[in-house]
């Protein structure tokens, strides 16, 4: 879905249409941006940005409190449309899903003919969402999840992008290495330091990349060649990553808590990076001297992957709900609702 939270607000409030809509806390309060419309993104507004910063960058922005119940209900209606196309669906998040249409086109002996036959289905899905839900979606059609995801990001908003098998190497060649699923900021930095700046640089090398990326080297090379053997996962299993610190002595010392929080954010970010994923939900957990345990969370529209983003959001949650009101026995950070990392805009013509 395109700018999902903000688009729902613009649909439900016609006076917001064509204007910069920022879903999150007001700019005069402590808080963060959860989502931004395309009009707001022109002012460099993005998820996880402090609302005060967004207010400075976009002084005429319309700030709207998140309505997660409304977004979840809208997501359910959209997923019902998708289930009318195929039952083989992997719901990645509230606004994103993979559909496996292999069974519908198994009689095509030419892979590209099958992909081309799937394009009208993609256009029909997009049209149904526009007609029935009054929202726009962008869809990628590819032979695997990696290519389909790239395609869905390519012509936003309201686009359908086909990546044929015969064209995939050329399509991938100029893209930055960060576009590869599984390549987080740390891996990208290491690859770039060795001269691998684009996917094309990886395509043409015969060098052993395991010295740079370890066990991920084989998968990295396969992705650079447009191959991805991950199946569409139809399970609804909830997954999370977390890190906690139990203090030797209960404390409310701010420098101690900040240092612990930074370490936890680094730990969580490293795990996200090793799996090549981002998280849409950030949670903090505190336990007091009497073993009372409290958790608070914030949900974003665009994923976070880096330690500084996770740390800032955890700090926001602690401050917003005044969780450090007495000495803490334990502090923790958790992330969930996993999606591919945020990508840079793809500008390659097709």
116 as an active site residue: the answer is: no
CA–chain centroid gap for 246, Å, is 30
Distance CA 336, CA 278 (A): 9
Using a 10 angstrom Cβ sphere, with 0-12 exposed, 13-18 middle and 19 or more buried, the burial of residue 15 is exposed
Nearest to residue 164, comparing CAs of 178, 153, 151? 151
Nearest to residue 265, comparing CAs of 166, 196, 163, 334? 334
Sequential DSSP letters for 70-120: HHHHHHHHHHHHHHTT-S-EEEEETTEEEE--GGGGTT-SSHHHHHHHHHH
Using a 10 angstrom Cβ sphere, with 0-12 exposed, 13-18 middle and 19 or more buried, the burial of residue 51 is buried
CB within 8 A of 340, min separation 6: which ones?
A: 92, 149, 181, 276, 277, 278, 303
Which residue among 96, 165, 244, 263 is the active-site one?
A: 96
**Residues that are catalytic:** 96
């Amino acid at each position: 879905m395109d700018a999902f939270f903000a688009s729902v607000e613009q649909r439900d409030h016609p006076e917001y249409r064509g204007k910069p809509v920022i879903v999150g806390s007001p700019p005069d309060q402590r808080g963060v941006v959860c989502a931004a419309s395309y009009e707001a993104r022109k002012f460099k507004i993005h998820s996880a940005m402090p609302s005060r910063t967004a207010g400075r960058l976009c002084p005429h922005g319309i700030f709207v409190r998140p309505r997660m119940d409304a977004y979840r209900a809208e997501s359910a209606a959209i997923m019902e449309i998708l289930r009318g196309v195929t039952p083989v669906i992997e719901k990645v998040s509230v606004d994103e899903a993979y559909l496996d249409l292999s069974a519908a086109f198994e009689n095509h002996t030419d892979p590209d003919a099958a992909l081309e036959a799937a394009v009208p289905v993609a256009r029909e899905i997009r049209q149904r969402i526009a007609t029935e839900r009054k929202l726009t979606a962008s869809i990628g059609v590819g032979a695997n999840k990696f290519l389909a995801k790239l395609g869905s990001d390519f012509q936003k908003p309201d686009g359908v992008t086909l990546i044929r098998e015969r064209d995939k190497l050329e399509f991938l060649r100029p893209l930055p290495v960060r576009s590869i699923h599984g390549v987080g900021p740390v891996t990208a930095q290491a690859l770039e330091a060795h001269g691998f700046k684009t996917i094309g640089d990886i395509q043409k090398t015969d060098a052993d990349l395991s010295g740079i990326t370890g066990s991920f080297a084989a998968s990295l090379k396969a992705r650079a060649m447009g191959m991805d053997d991950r199946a569409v996962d139809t399970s609804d299993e909830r997954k999370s990553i977390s890190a906690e610190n139990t203090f030797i002595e209960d404390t409310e010392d701010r420098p101690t808590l900040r240092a612990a929080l930074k370490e936890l954010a680094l730990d969580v970010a490293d795990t996200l990076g090793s799996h090549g994923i981002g998280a849409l939900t950030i949670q903090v957990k505190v336990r007091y001297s009497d073993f009372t345990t409290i958790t608070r969370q914030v949900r974003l529209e665009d994923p976070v992957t880096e330690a500084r983003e996770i740390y800032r959001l955890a700090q926001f949650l602690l401050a917003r709900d005044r969780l450090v009101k007495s000495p803490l026995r334990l502090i923790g950070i958790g992330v969930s609702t996993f999606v591919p990392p945020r990508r840079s805009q793809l500008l390659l013509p097709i």
